[in-house]
Amino acid sequence: MSANPQFPGFLRTSIGRKWVVAVSGLFLIGFVIIHMAGNLQMFAATPDVINRYAYFLKTNPLMLWGFRLALLTAVAAHIWAALSLARENRAAKPVNYAVAGRKSRLHVTLASVTMVISGTVILGFVIFHLLHFTAQVVDRSYQEMETVLDGKAVHDVHRMVVAGFSKPLISAFYILAMGLLFFHLRHGAASVFQTIGIRDRTLSRVIESGSWALAAILFLGFSSIPVAVLLGVWKL
Amino acid sequence: MKLHLKIWRQPGKDHPGKLEMYDLDGLNPDMSFLEMMDVLNDRLTREGKEPVAFEHDCREGICGSCAMAINGEPHGPNDGATTCQVYLRSFKDGETLTVEPWRARAFPVLKDLVTDRSAFDRIMQAGGFISVNTGQAPDANAMPIGKETAEQAFDAAHCIGCGACVAACRNGSAMLFVAAKVSHLGLLPQGQPERKQRVRRMVEAMDAAGFGNCSNQYACEAVCPKEISADLIARMNRDYALSLVPKL
């Protein structure tokens, strides 16, 4: 890249930063899809399935931390680029019309104008979620939950999740955050394609409905677990 | 017919402005919106008052001068039409219309409804051209161009640079305008030699002028009097990224 004198300037331009938001967003979408697929192992016939998966992740620290580092970089880049663009956008429109036009708002969805708000709440949620289930400091008793898997004592993730979601307020917060993720991705996933230049008249319909469907599947997939716990599918 | 007009009056660039009320009666529904403005200005002049400053030139929808927002809508309520192509029959008798200048930091108000749109000229000067030696016009069809490509380039070339896209955008972004100009030349063989530097320079000039950034809400496309598609913004985003890839 250093061979290209244009490259550093790229990050200062409008389109350059839009690419940063899109590419980091695409990576994060990929992550949430994998995360959801991992979570859905809760519904497997035995708790061993998700416990084995968690054990596999924990015992491959190079892969785990490499992925965590990539995620952290993507999150930081996503927030930095999006906020710097949003700041400029506010400055570029200092005065609004006395009367709001109808045509100008035709395609402006609630989701698209609340990206910073939904993004901020999701960030807050992610921090709580990490303290809750990853660092396990919200309720330290999770650290002691163990089960026996193939003759070894391993962390009982299944039990921790059931215990975590048995508190209705925490479950409600998780479901609310997933609702906001649905909103964020409804606009965000479709926008990725526009920003990286894959969109035309015929594709746009597929992109719009595909993004909506993806956002909805993620919402339902993630929310199904706290809902199942609250409905008493698993007993502690 | 009768109309109540609330028009933005601002004596100069750094002066505060406000909406002022004017009542017009006896209007012909087949008058164009600009003819109605002429009627109003004629009356104001006869009353010894300052007429409303507004831009207009061709009055047939191809020059892009008649920039004004009617009820918050750049170029008014009609689809694919400039203000000069809006007729009073599009409104209800006795309706109140709010008329304002384009609102965007990059288009400062000079007087009343007139804004300074020279930022667009600076973007064009940065790369909205092809460099050719002057001389005789080349023979028509000497350079074969596929029908599909010619149509696409022509669709982009329809842009009249009126600035409605910026005016409608909640971010005051000029990306539809720049995308139209980048694509119209970038699609044709004559535009290839400067294709990479064109998109880079035009994007840099756009950023320097203080326009906002596209957040993919496509208000620009909805109000564009030439119905330029926001798909061209996707094309520009792609072209811009490709322009940074080093030549192997």
Cβ atoms of B36 and B24 within 8 Å: the answer is: yes
Work out the end-to-end distance of chain B between its first and last CA atoms, rounded to an integer number of angstroms.
Answer: 67
Per the structure, the complete domain to which residue B232 belongs is given by 118-243
Cβ atoms of B128 and B192 within 8 Å: the answer is: no
Residue B244 and residue A6: Cβ atoms within 8 Å? yes
Chain B environment of A17 (Cβ under 8 Å): 213
Chain B environment of A19 (Cβ under 8 Å): 237, 241
Each residue's pLDDT tens digit, B133-146: 888 888 888 889 99
Q: Indicate the average pLDDT of chain B.
A: 96
Is residue B248 a part of any domain in this protein? Answer: no
Which of B15, B96, B239, B244 is the best residue to mutate to test the A interface, defined by the most A CB atoms within 10 Å of its own CB?
Answer: B244
Residue among B100, B219, B243 whose CB faces A107 most closely: B219
CB neighbours of residue A200 within 10 Å: 14
Same domain, B45 and B128: no
Chain A environment of B214 (Cβ under 8 Å): 14, 18, 194
Same domain, B105 and B218: no
Domain boundary among B69, B86, B110: B110
Closest Cα partner for B33 from B235, B227, B225?
Answer: B225
What domain count does chain B have? 2
pLDDT for position A4: 47
Question: What percent of chain B lies above the pLDDT cut of 70?
Answer: 100
Each residue's pLDDT tens digit, B149-164: 999 999 999 999 999 9
Is residue B194 a part of any domain in this protein? Answer: yes
Q: Rounded to a whole number, what is the distance in Å from the CA of B73 to chain A's nearest CA?
A: 5
Q: Rounded to a whole number, what is the distance in Å from the CA of A92 to chain B's nearest CA?
A: 5
Residue among B219, B221, B241 whose CB faces A197 most closely: B241
Cβ atoms of B177 and B232 within 8 Å: the answer is: no
Cβ atoms of B149 and B165 within 8 Å: the answer is: no
Is residue B196 a part of any domain in this protein? Answer: yes
Q: Rounded to a whole number, what is the distance in Å from the CA of B95 to chain A's nearest CA?
A: 14
DSSP B138: P
Summarize the confidence of residues B172-183 as an average pLDDT.
98
pLDDT for position A106: 82
Same domain, B8 and B102: yes
Domain boundary among B110, B133, B153: B110
Is residue B142 a part of any domain in this protein? Answer: yes
Same domain, B223 and B132: yes
pLDDT for position A41: 97
Q: What does the pLDDT profile of chain A (236 residues) look like in tens digits?
A: 334 445 567 888 999 999 999 999 999 999 999 999 999 999 999 999 999 999 999 999 999 999 999 999 999 999 999 999 999 999 999 999 999 998 888 888 999 999 999 999 999 999 999 999 999 999 999 999 999 999 999 999 999 999 999 999 999 999 999 999 999 999 999 999 999 999 988 899 999 999 999 999 999 999 999 999 999 999 87
Which of A103, A117, A184, A198 is the best residue to mutate to test the B interface, defined by the most B CB atoms within 10 Å of its own CB?
Answer: A103
CATH number at residue B132: 1.10.1060.10
**What are all long-range contacts of B56-65, with beta carbons under 8 Å and residues at least 24 apart?**
B56/B84, B58/B84, B59/B32, B59/B34, B59/B84, B60/B84, B60/B85, B61/B85, B61/B160, B61/B225, B62/B160, B63/B160, B64/B160, B64/B161, B64/B162, B64/B163, B64/B225, B65/B162
Distance of CA A113 to the CA centre of its chain: 18
Summarize the confidence of residues B65-89 as an average pLDDT.
97
Each residue's pLDDT tens digit, B218-248: 999 999 999 999 999 999 999 999 999 887 6
Each residue's pLDDT tens digit, B3-46: 999 999 999 999 999 999 999 999 999 999 999 999 999 999 99
Determine whether A27 is exposed, middle or buried from the number of CB atoms within 10 Å of its CB (0-12, 13-18, 19+): middle
CA A155, CA A64: separation in Å to the nearest integer?
16
Spell out the SS3 assignment of B77-110.
CCCCCCHHHCEHHHCCCCCEEEEECCCCCCCCEE
Q: Which domains does chain A show, CATH number per domain?
A: 10-91+108-230 (1.20.1300)
Which of B10, B98, B217 is the best residue to mutate to test the A interface, defined by the most A CB atoms within 10 Å of its own CB?
Answer: B217
B18: Cα within 13 Å, side-chain hemisphere: 3
Same domain, B47 and B134: no
Residue B98 and residue A108: Cβ atoms within 8 Å? no
Domain boundary among B110, B138, B159: B110
Same domain, B178 and B103: no
CA B226 vs CA A227, B64, B163, B237: distances in Å: 50, 10, 11, 21
CATH number at residue B42: 3.10.20.30
For chain B, how are helix, strand and coil distributed in percent, rounded to 5?
A: 40, 15, 50
Chain A environment of B244 (Cβ under 8 Å): 4, 6-7, 10
Q: Rounded to a whole number, what is the distance in Å from the CA of A36 to chain B's nearest CA?
A: 27
Determine whether A181 is exposed, middle or buried from the number of CB atoms within 10 Å of its CB (0-12, 13-18, 19+): buried
Phi, psi of A8 (to 5 degrees): -60, -35
Phi, psi of B57 (to 5 degrees): -145, -80
Token representation of residue B56: 């207009």
Same domain, B154 and B235: yes
Token representation of residue B105: 């930091």
pLDDT for position A139: 93
CA A118, CA A179: separation in Å to the nearest integer?
9
Q: Give the DSSP H or E segment for A147.
A: strand A146-149
Each residue's pLDDT tens digit, A195-219: 999 998 889 999 999 999 999 999 9
CA A195, CA B53: separation in Å to the nearest integer?
39
CA max distance for chain B: 70
Closest Cα partner for B126 from B58, B177, B70, B69?
Answer: B177
pLDDT for position A8: 61
Same domain, B189 and B86: no
Same domain, B135 and B212: yes
**What are all long-range contacts of A52-61, with beta carbons under 8 Å and residues at least 24 apart?**
A52/A149, A52/A150, A54/A154, A54/A155, A54/A157, A55/A149, A55/A154, A55/A155, A58/A155
Residue A104 and residue B19: Cβ atoms within 8 Å? no
Same domain, B176 and B212: yes
Q: Rounded to a whole number, what is the distance in Å from the CA of A37 to chain B's nearest CA?
A: 29
As for the ipTM of the complex, it is 0.93
Same domain, B147 and B87: no
pLDDT for position A3: 42
Residue A88 and residue B219: Cβ atoms within 8 Å? no
